[in-house]
Structure 1
Amino acid sequence: MAGNSQRRGAMRKTGTKKGMVVGSGGQRRKALKGKGPTPKAEERTGHPASRKAAAARKAAEKAAEARRVGATGRPGAAETVAGRNAVVEALRAEVPVKALYVAERIDSDDRVRDVLKIAAERSLPLLEAPRSELDRITGGAVHQGLALTLPPYEYADPADLVAAAFEAGEVPLIVALDGVTDPRNLGAVVRSAAAFGAHGVVVPERRSAGMTAGAWKTSAGAAARLPVAKATNLARALRAYQEAGLFVIGLDGAGDTDIAAARALDQPLCLVVGSEGAGMSRIVTETCDLVVRIPIVSSVESLNAGVAAGVALYEVTRARNVTESR
């Protein structure tokens, strides 16, 4: 009968596990511990938002690495040139090419036709690739369906430049750059050095421009004929040149004399050119046998490395021609 509390089994006995009983609320041995606030979707492993964020970080790291590597010009470092104008200019300047990438179903224009024509004439490795692959190769740069990779530049040893000059029976003429970080200035120096009969250009391993696509283009093809050497320590390389019989002359606005009046220009020579702003470093300046200047008007503070090297090399060539005519 309903409500009959006297019926056997109608009342629960204290301590039974059936039904609701007074308990600890999970505050003892098997207590539940909170995990704190719910993490964001990007922070949850396996969540689509987390995978998307990780992919974005990885792409950004690849792009940064591509930009960093492309600017170094270090031995073993490859470089990528991206974009229709940049690729056309690089090919016209006969920049060495490892591979030329063309996007599938690319919209052709005059630049694309020029690229394909030059590639055929030079028998360049031509690869057709999806745009996603070009995005990966260029590190996310704007490539417009065209990109090319350059092989790592093979730098010479500074000692080889002098050895080659002596073996050829010529008076050595080497140009060394100290602190020149603009690849276009390096290319201009290479072009001037080749034009005035120098036997090579030396750059330091650190804080210096390397033989990138920009340097190749500015050299106007001279980089293919004139070796560029890399010195681990420029001051040490200059001292080695002195021991080999070369006279080391540095260019500086506060030089001891005008370069035209220097008496050692017709001797085995290493000409050191510093950066436009800071000039030569102190230790390199102290290593030089003589520091000369190029006379310019006071309203102009300095010349860039490419122009200064060209003027100085002209004076060296003029002095040597005078000596030979005697």
Structure 2
Amino acid sequence: MAAGGRASGRPAKKKGPNKGTGGQKRRSLEGKGATPPAHMRHWFKDKSRSERIAREDRGGTTGAGGRAPARRRSEDAPEYIGGRNPVLEALSAGVPATALYVAQRIDNDDRVRDAIKVATERGVALLEVTRDKLDRLTEGAVHQGVALQIPAYEYAHPDELIDLAHDAGEPPLIVALDGVTDPRNLGAIARSATAFGAHGLLIPSRRSAGVTGGAWKTSAGTLANLRVARAANLTAALREYREAGLFVVGLDGEGTTEIADVQLFTEPLVIVVGSEGRGLSRLVREHCDVVARIPMQAAAESLNAGVAAGVTLYEVARHRRR
């Protein structure tokens, strides 16, 4: 007997293939065909979606050079105003708010108590959240423990601004923004426009600041009482305004006429404010009846767009009071 109890000289019994080797059934060795493309693999889409959500939670996908590109905000997404004074001013001015966020264990003062009172009276939802949550909602801006959620702004049609003037029995006064990309400038211009009787703002839909939380904050609530219209093409909108009988006065540091010498301020009017530094674009300048400048005694490259709009609107109001 050989080791293990096997009789010597007797051939060993041949075993069949083990399960799982693919040898038992010929079909098991056949290929499954080409791998389907990514868009046909539901598990691929689910995985990609999960990875995308995880990246967004970490602050966005990483682009070239290791930098995280800015997250694009949907036009339908709500905006947030942060800060005790801005929140109270917005609530008191009737800004259409949907929720008031208050930080846990906040150090209350009169502004916080008044904001909560006004929000409660208006039926605005009150939510207590962590400061980290407020940091995310306000995108890192100073919020002092309170933030106000407002719905996405509903822009008017450019023709509606003329209708508002006609309903008031006044010559139209519209302020158009050309290349003004800072929401704080839009908010500051809205304050001046409201103070001096303008009937609305006109902004292009591209390469321009919109009515965001920053604009609401700087406007101190005046955007609640001033209509903002948006045009797909600013020059086309200005051309239609001129066809409707309005004059267009552009503001530019290289203008040939001083603001005090403009003779059109009592007429139906559009004031076009250019961006700081670049001024008016070429096409917009070509659609202006007058390009005016604000003379300055001290040497300076240009005035801030909000300041230039305020000076000009005061001049318009002064002429119209006559």
Shared fold, TM over 0.5: yes
C-alpha root-mean-square deviation of aligned residues, in Å?
3.8
For 2:272, the equivalent position in structure 1 comes to 272
Aligned counterparts, 1:227-238, within 5 A: 227-238=227-238
**What displacement does 1:54 show?**
7.2
Match of 1:120 in 2: 117
Identity across aligned pairs (percent)? 52
CA distance in 2, matches of 1:317, 1:276: 23
Higher deviation after alignment, 272-281 or 139-148 = 139-148
Amino acid at match of 1:225: N
Match of 2:87 among 87, 90, 98: 90
CA distance in structure 2 between the aligned counterparts of 1:166 and 1:126, rounded to whole angstroms: 37
Cross-structure match for 1:180? 180
Does the CA contact (< 8 Å) of 2:185 and 2:305 recur in 1? yes
1:117/1:292 Cα in 2 relative to 1: closer, same or farther (>3 Å)? closer
Instruction: Check the 8 A contact 2:134/2:146 in 1, yes or no.
Output: no
Q: Secondary structure of 1:194's match?
A: helix
User: 1: distance between equivalents of 2:304 and 2:6?
Assistant: 110
1:52-131 alignment, distance < 5 Å: 56-60=54-58, 68-69=72-73, 74=75, 76-81=76-81, 86-94=83-91, 95-102=95-102, 106-111=104-109, 114-122=111-119, 123=121, 124-128=123-127, 131=130
The aligned counterpart of 1:164 is 164
How far 1:313 sits from its partner (Å)? 1.4
Decide whether the 8 Å contact of 2:266 with 2:319 is kept in 1. Answer: yes
**Aligned partners of 2:101 and 2:129 also within 8 Å:** no
The alignment partner of 1:176 has SS state of: strand
SS, match of residue 110 in structure 1: coil
The offset of 1:184, in angstroms, is 1.3
Aligned partners of 1:101 and 1:134 also within 8 Å: no
Deviation string for 1:51-85 (max 9, x for gaps)? x977642423689999642xx8x4x3311345xxx
> Where do 5+ consecutive residues of structure 2 fail to align?
17-22, 30-42, 44-49, 62-67
Distance, in Å, in 2 between the alignment partners of 1:144 and 1:188 is 22
* 3-state secondary structure, aligned to 1:284: helix
> Aligned partners of 1:245, 1:130: CA distance in 2, in Å?
52
The answer to whether the Cα contact below 8 Å between 1:134 and 1:145 also exists between their aligned partners in 2 is no
**Aligned partners of 1:96, 1:66: CA distance in 2, in Å?**
27
Kindly indicate whether residue 137 of structure 2 is the aligned counterpart of residue 138 of structure 1: yes
In the alignment, what sits opposite 2:308? 308
Judging changes above 3 Å, is the alpha-carbon distance between structure 1 residues 116 and 53 closer, same or farther for their aligned structure 2 residues?
farther
> Is the CA contact (8 Å cut-off) linking 1:119 and 1:126 kept in structure 2?
no
Give the match for residue 38 of structure 2: none
Partner Cα distance (2:153, 2:296) in 1: 36
Q: Identify the residue that residue 239 of structure 1 maps to in structure 2.
A: 239
- Deviation string 1:235-265 (CA, Å, 9 cap, x unpaired) is 1111111011001111111112112112222
Q: How many residues matched?
A: 283
CA distance in 2, matches of 1:289, 1:91: 42
Aligned to 1:204: 204
CA contact (8 A) 2:88 2:111 kept: no
Gaps of 5+ in 1: 20-25, 32-44, 46-51
The answer to whether the 8 A contact 1:189-1:309 is kept is: yes
Structure 2 Cα separation of the partners of residues 255 and 137 of structure 1: 44
Q: Which residue identity is paired with 2:212? A: T
Is the alpha carbon distance of 1:221 and 1:146 closer, same or farther for their aligned partners in structure 2, counting shifts above 3 Å? closer
Partner SS for 2:170: coil
SS at match of 2:176: strand
**Larger Rg computed on CA atoms:** 1
CA 1:79–1:66: 2 relative to 1, 3 Å: farther
Counterpart secondary structure, 2:58: helix
Shift, 1:221, TM fit: 3.0
Give the Å deviation of 1:319.
2.5
Q: 1:144 and 1:109, CA in 2 relative to 1: closer, same or farther beyond 3 A? A: same
1:272 Cα deviation from its structure 2 partner: 0.3
- Residue type at the aligned position of 1:118: A
**Does the 8 Å contact 2:250/2:292 carry over to 1?**
yes
- Contact 1:79 1:152 survives alignment (8 Å): yes
For residues 101 and 116 of structure 2, the distance between their equivalents in structure 1, rounded to whole angstroms, comes to 11
Contact 2:260 2:315 in 1 (8 A): yes
How far apart are the structure 1 equivalents of 2:15 and 2:171? 108
Q: Contact 1:101 / 1:128 at 8 angstroms: preserved in 2?
A: yes
Report the equivalent of 1:13.
11
State how far apart, in whole Å, the 2-side matches of 1:128 and 1:222 are: 25
